[in-house]
Structure 1
Amino acid sequence: MLAELTPALIAEVERAAQLLKSKSRICILTGAGISAESGIPTFRDKQTGLWENYGVEDLATPEAFTRDPKLVWSWYQWRRQLVADKAPNPAHHALAQWQYHTQTSDQTVTLITQNVDDLHEQAGSSVTHLHGHLWRNRCGQCNAPYQEQSSAPSDHQDIMQNTMSVNTHLDMSFDNTLLTCSHCGGYIRPDIVWFGEALPVQAWQTAEEAAANCEVFISIGTSSLVYPAAGLAQLAKQNGAQVMEINPNPTPNTIVDITFAEKAGVILPPLIEAITDL
């Protein structure tokens, strides 16, 4: 795989691989860029079709759901349908391969994502979601999980071997009919962290602890400018970690030690191959 890169990139990948092989605790934060390589539009992409006249405040806030639950639910059903046939790309598989390799090594790779899709899980990774799960639902009133509608796969730890997971969402219903909670009668909403809502406590604690204790922090496909997640790289740096970024549009950030201005699917496969000696 290294042969496909420019000489300058090969040198940087080899340098990064040597650094990562020498460290025990790695924290990785992924964002919309890694999913975009699988064909999933980023949240900031212009809405199309029926949704082009709606803004974030109409579709992704608690106030919007209170005001017009049918509109918000319909938009998320549309998003689910858009994402249902998407599959993990080489970057997802490389990260899963790395985590699998650490089961027989002294290295720990903690994977945190801002994405709400389950492409990391489909590839075989264990991942902490900061912004919720597109394929899960809960009551908007009492917060009880809505199990019947949840099609998210559980753990894919045993299906790692660089094979494409069977997508479990293609036979899902994308009906726009509002659902109600069997406990309190409230409307069911996506289990997503909307604008103005706090991040899930346990997930954020996991992310903070991993960032504070890591030796290398890797930001992949995210600008590292949106807080609170952007603060994780700073936390890692403050505690002595080296910071690496993989992003076609690098962040103008002085705390980054190694920058790959490339797609994750280009950099991660040869990088992980060099780390794991596979």
Structure 2
Amino acid sequence: MQKRLVVLSGAGISAESGIKTFRDADGLWEGHDVMDVASPQGWIRNKELVLKFYNDRRRQLLSCQPNQAHQLLVELEKDYNVSIITQNVDDLHERAGSKDVLHLHGELLKVRSEEDETLVYPWTGDLLASDQNDKGHKLRPHIVWFGEMVPELERAIPIVEQADIILIIGTSLQVYPAASLINYANENAKVYYIDPNPAMTNSFRHHITVIAEKASTGVHAFINLL
């Protein structure tokens, strides 16, 4: 029976594909205050700014390709039962070929109804303020903004609980509630952490094997340790 490998991925794995990390050290995202472009208040205040921001991000994403780290995770499916829980809103895991991907913070290539969040639609072009679904609902980016619930968290918890091996890659595990997921790991699970500038790990109850590398070389090193 294959062991269960759960990958918790963040912006660091997409950075090598040319996608900017969610928030730079100065608190800005692509030059914008994150609360202007990633909060319900920002959406109410200036929809045109928010729409332009995500339209620009969407176009950028469509010009990027999965990198070696994404591809190596696909290779691991030959020997392990791999589930990926990602904080990323890009589709690079899926484009690389990963079969089981859960997006905690939404997806850039989807939009949803403003009135019914369960009505979600694929979207690769620009989203305009005038766009509606067939029920006449206005549409918004399918992104979990600051201050909003993370509905997929409840699905993610049992996946982590059942893991034999956990690989944390490209995330500082400082953003909650996603950061709390590691606390649900079985005490017998082996935990590995790939990051060129790893955060302190002594706050976690698990022993964590740290691989201080960027994503692609780090996944190579992880595979060699297995």
Fold agreement, TM-score > 0.5: yes
- The answer to whether residue 27 in structure 2 is matched with residue 27 in structure 1 is no
Structure that is richer in helix per residue = 1
Contact in 2 for aligned 1:23/1:215 (Cα 8 Å)? no
Please list the CA deviations of residues 144-183 of structure 1 after superposition, one character each: whole Å capped at 9, or x if unmatched. Answer: 5354xx24xxxxxxxxxxxxxxxxxxxx533655412331
- The one-letter code sitting in structure 1 at the alignment partner of 2:197 is N
Q: Which amino acid aligns with 1:231?
A: S
Q: What letter is aligned with 2:193?
A: E
Residue 71 in 1 paired to residue 71 in 2? no
Distance 1:233 1:61 in 2: 26
Q: Which runs of 5+ in 1 are unaligned?
A: 1-21, 152-171
CA displacement at 1:47 relative to structure 2: 4.3
1:137 pairs with 2:111:
yes
Map 1:82-231; keep pairs closer than 5 Å: 82-99=60-77, 101-102=78-79, 107-126=80-99, 127-143=101-117, 145=119, 147=121, 150-151=122-123, 172-174=124-126, 176=128, 178-183=130-135, 185-200=136-151, 203-231=152-180
CA RMSD, Structure 1 to Structure 2 (Å): 2.3
Q: Is the 8 A contact 1:90 1:269 kept in 2?
A: no
Q: 1:169 is matched with which residue?
A: none
* Equivalent residue in structure 1 for 2:183, among 206, 229, 234: 234
**Identity over aligned pairs, percent:** 39
Residue 271 of structure 1 deviates from its aligned partner by 4.0
CA contact (8 A) 2:165 2:189 kept: yes
Where does structure 1 differ by over 4 angstroms across 4 or more consecutive aligned residues?
none
From 260, 265, 269, the counterpart of 2:211: 260
Task: Specify the code of the residue in structure 1 equivalent to 2:138.
Answer: Y
| CA apart distance, 1:85 | 0.6
Instruction: Kindly tell me the number of residue pairs found equivalent between the two proteins.
Output: 219
Q: Distance in 2 between matches of 1:55 and 1:274?
A: 40
Task: State TM-score, norm by structure 1.
Answer: 0.72
> SS of the counterpart of 1:26?
strand
TM-score (norm 2): 0.87
Q: Distance in 2 between matches of 1:236 and 1:43?
A: 26
SS at match of 1:230: helix
* Greater gyration radius: 1
Residue 245 of structure 1: aligned partner: 193
* Runs of 5+ unmatched residues, structure 2: none
More strand by share: 2
The answer to whether the 8 A contact 1:136-1:191 is kept is yes
For 1:37 and 1:232, how far apart are their aligned partners in 2?
25
In 2, the alpha carbon distance for the partners of 1:134 and 1:27 equals: 23
Partner of 2:89, secondary structure, is coil
SS at 2:185's partner residue? helix
